[in-house]
Structure formats: structure tokens, C-alpha cells
Amino acid sequence: MKIVVVGSGSIGSLYGAFLSRIEGNEVILVGRNPHVAAIRSNGLIIRGIMGEHIFHLDAVDDVSDVSEADLILLTTKTYDTIPAITAAKHLVEKGAYILLIQNGLGTEELVADAVNSTRVLRATTCMGALRTEPGVVTATGCGLTEIGSRFPENYEFVELMSKMFKECGFDVRASTNIEGVVWTKTLVNCGINPVGALTGLTNGAVYKNPELRDLVIKLVKEAVEVVKALGIELTTDDPVRYALGTAKATGNNINSMLQDIMARKRTEIDAITGEIIRLGKELGIETPSNEVVYALIKAIEAKYLEDPQGTPTIQHLGVKELVDTLSTT
């Protein structure tokens, strides 16, 4: 199978590397320099809890350099989804399936509309990875990857993808309720990610602090009310316990939102907390705590995006400062 990984940052590089181990697979990474240049020169180095490996893969910085593919593995940030898949539309027109491995809500429908195709699959992952230097990715956490599709005609391909990911060493499950899977992961993200990003703490440090744990609970409970109103069937009976359990199990992880802030990049807060707030307003459900953390993240983000050459150090909030800010909600 010819696989093109569009958005080959940490997670995309990690999946692409191990998928290339399967006999008959050809993997091409599409990313940005200097990451791509380093891979072309020295190979892709994977370190961390999955061992140390060097993968010699083809890597390009423009998807138009690729003429055909069986699968597009799209691992961009949510706000880059449509530009990325539009640039790869020529591959879809030749029959490629698309597998989105992303945070956030609603991207499958947007992609299907953008490329006029229902060959769209969606996955969530609890894998943790950091791009520690150009050409080097460190795996920081192993967790479940769930794959499904909102389009029933794709389920045979969902099963094929699940089998392939398992074969290269990932913990994978095929799902017939990918909407519930995505929402369950979003509840985890809306609770853990903003709290970690605002304080600069790992998932484990957030979990171990009773006051921050209470904030996570408050954020998740608000989002659960939105889920109930939408009639979504989650994949857990206790989303609060599941979110806290995820924080504990991925204790060493620096969550993706905190990684973005540390790198002075745009975060995915709009596709996670922003969507919960938007849907809450449509449904007449109040989400005051989510609104506060959303505003705080957007303020931090705006400051460094408006002044990219400014002070490189991001001032995180202290635990008491964050707790006091949310205590009025």
C-alpha cells in the first residue's frame, strides 16, 4: 500500500515510520523543513518508550510532488485540515482513502465536502510523541488508537486499517461508533489540555494536584451536558473518571496544546473547547468554565502570534491564579 502522511510532525512521523515496516508498504512523509530535510539526510530517528530506531523514508515538503496514493494519513492540526486536503485532492481523485488522526470535532464532514468523496475515515489516538529536534521524534506515551468512519461503506477499509496498525505494533480498535469515540476523546481534551497548557504542567502533575483535578472535573461536566443534549453515545459510562484516568495513565505527557504554546504556535482550542462553547450556545447550555479557559488560551496565543519575535518565554499561570480565576464561574 502506498501511504502518504500529510502533516508529518510528531504523531504523523511516528505512525508513518512504523507503517513502513510492513512488507509491501511504501510511506512518503509530507512535512515542513527543517524536519523533512533532516529525514532526507539522516533518516527519521524514533526514540523513547517504543525503543530507538532509524527509518529511511522518502520525505517531501510539497504533496504535489506525490502523484498517487492508496491512503492519505492526515495528521495536521485541525485549522490546517482543509488547506492540506485541498492540496492533496489530486490523490483523492485517483481513488485514495483519507484517514484523519486529529483532535477536535467535525473535520470528517468538512473533508468529505472539500474533496467530494466519502472515502473518509477518522481515528483518535492516545499515543504521545514530541518532535525533539529536526528528524527526531520521541515517543512519550502508548495508548489506544480507535479507527472508524461516519460513512458505513468504508467499514471494510476500517477493518483493514485496524489490522495493519496492529501489525506494526499499535494498540488499535475498529469502531462502529466513531462519533462517540471522537466525543469521548474531546471530553478528555477539553478537561486536561487547557489546564495543562495554562499551568505548563504535564498530565500527571495536573492529575496529582487536587485543585487542578477539580477544574478538570468542572470542564468535563459542562461538556457532558452538551453531549447529553446532542444524544451522543459515549464510549464510557463515566466520562469524568475516564478523563482523570487518562491524565493519570499519560502522566509524563506534555499535552498537544501545551506543546503548541511552548512552540509559540496556534493551538487547537477552537476545535475543542470552542466547539463545545458554540454547541452549548446553540442548545441553551451554559459552559462558563470552558468559556474562561478558552478566553485565557486565546489571550496567550494572541500575544505571541501578534509578536512572533517577542519574549520567547511564555508566562504560565500559577495553580492558585488559575483556580481563583475560575472560582467565580
Cite the active site residues. Answer: 185
Cis peptide before 152 (omega within 30 of 0): no
Written as nine digits, the cell of 266 is 496556534
The number of C-alpha atoms within 13 Å of 285 and in the hemisphere containing its C-beta is 20
Cβ atoms of 172 and 30 within 8 Å: the answer is: no
Q: Is 231 left (phi over 0), alpha (psi -120 to 50) or beta?
A: left
Cβ atoms of 186 and 276 within 8 Å: the answer is: yes
d(CA 260, CA 271): 14
Q: How far is CA 307 from the centre of its chain?
A: 26
d(CA 49, CA 51): 5
Buried b (16+ CB within 10 A) or exposed e, 315-327: ebbebeebbebbe
d(CA 240, CA 188): 8
Cβ atoms of 277 and 290 within 8 Å: the answer is: yes
